[in-house]
Amino acid sequence: MNIPLLIVIAYVVLLFGISFHVSRKQKKDGDAFLLYKGKNGIFVVASSIAGLAIGGASTIGIAENAFSVGLSAGWYDTAWAIGAVMTAFLAVKYLRKSGYSTISALVNEMYGKKTSFVMVISMCIIQSGIIALQYKAGGSILAALLPEIFTTETGTFFSFLIFMLVAMIGGMGSVSLTNVLNLILIYVGVIVATVIVLSNHGGWAAIETLVAAEPDVPYLSLTAGMGWIGILSWVIVMIGNTNSVQGVVQIGLTGKDDRSARLGYILGAVLMVPVGFICALLGVASKALLPDGVAAEALPQILMSIPPVLGGITLSGLWAADMGTGCSMIVGLATTVSNDIVYRLCDSPAMKQKKSMVNKIIVVLASLVTYLIATQMGAILNAMQQALSLSIGTSFIVIGALLFPRFTSQKAGLWTIVASIAAIIAWKVVPGLVNIFQSVGIFMVIVCGVVFLGISLVDQEKVAQGIKTTTAK
């Protein structure tokens, strides 16, 4: 009897049960399918944002990075948490106040159509990269969990298929509720696995041996491996990501009221932090126990050495972490495409009548495109940081307009986003930039900051003053 397979099947069946339940409640409400506005209390909002944050990069990616930098890899989730807290008081607060459904619509009000159009393209690129990485991480997990059934490639395809179906059947409502289940699985899985690996499988003794054998690598330091520059870079990237990426901010709209949305993000941030450092510790243990293993696969492999039921639950929890992020971002990408592209170009009565079906088709197409991207990606955490760094430019213009409208130039919006796209291309094609700036996040802050501040200082045409309260759009 293949116990891990049975656990995965049971988990998938439960996911589909939740999705079909939510789908029946929504019936043909196209807006509720993507937005699920005003439905969730504090804990469900917290589970949704934590489930989105704790994905492939926040588990498998951290463990992979811990192979070379040790416990400091766990700062990735802490950076996420810092960004989530700031979002509660910035983007979420103002988006709820404005009545708009997308960050791009808010930018359109403040900066105009050109800036909004370029931002939509940027948002599609960022969210596509994040989704693709969840498929890839999910493939690595399934290949280790069920090697007789999945390769990394077929596991990636299976992950894409399940994530797409859950998002397509129930939309944001199913994503919200399944993230509660996912968060429980994640916490139970990683905590139980850590105790067993460190105490019963000689993990801690192996770590001590590894530290003694390689004293130049700060495996047990909370900061030295990444260094403060690297940690600061993650914080910068995450503040940019959480305040401007639709899939992240959109969860704030599901809160029943402003208090539920704000406290949900803060509680979700608290729930993110421990998982990052636990997975980093498991990554160091994996390095110690499997020194010749492949970094991206070592954590799933080491977890398969624990009892089958616990190993199956743990790896299902890691796959659940992927699903939470993947499905949330799929719905976010579909919201961007539908509200900011499709319905702006074709807003006929006939289209509105078929809104629910159109939104489902967009979810499927978005999933297919991001799966194709997933087949071309490299190391999880490195690719994730580069994808997310593109959001720094959009964050400059969003935060600038919300907090400093009398200073922020309308032209600065368009050219800051263009500069961010040019900067990420330069980072990929000019190797010398890595030696100068060390981090793509710091490079992006400098480029976008110079462009944004420079244009705002000299251009007298400022953004629209303040946020108008409107009906939902």
- pLDDT at position 106: 84
pLDDT of 163 over the 60 cut: yes
- pLDDT at position 46: 94
CA-to-CA dists, residue 257 to 45, 106, 260, 262, 472, angstroms: 11, 20, 5, 9, 14
pLDDT per position as a tens digit, 98-143: 888 888 888 888 888 888 888 888 888 888 888 888 888 788 778 8
User: How many angstroms separate the CA atoms of 329 and 342, rounded?
Assistant: 18
Q: What CATH number is given for 33-392 in this structure? A: 1.20.1730.10
Collect all residues with Cβ–Cβ distance below 8 Å to 144 and sequence separation of at least 6. 297, 300, 301, 303, 304, 315
Q: Across the chain, what does the average pLDDT equal?
A: 84
Contact 168, 360 (CB under 8 A): yes
pLDDT of 397 over the 80 cut: yes
CA-to-CA dists, residue 13 to 8, 227, 321, 443, angstroms: 9, 43, 17, 45
CA-to-CA dists, residue 435 to 69, 423, 427, 432, 440, angstroms: 18, 15, 11, 5, 11
Q: Where are the beta strands (DSSP E) in 210-295?
A: none
Quick one: average pLDDT of 40-64?
Answer: 85
pLDDT of 409 over the 60 cut: yes
The continuous run of DSSP H or E covering 56 comes out as none
pLDDT of 165 over the 80 cut: yes
User: How many angstroms separate the CA atoms of 392 and 244, rounded?
Assistant: 8
- pLDDT at position 258: 92
Quick one: average pLDDT of 239-267?
Answer: 90
pLDDT per position as a tens digit, 92-108: 888 888 888 888 888 88
- pLDDT at position 356: 75
The residue extents of the domains of the chain are: 33-392
User: How many angstroms separate the CA atoms of 50 and 90, rounded?
Assistant: 18
Contact 18, 169 (CB under 8 A): no
- pLDDT at position 257: 92
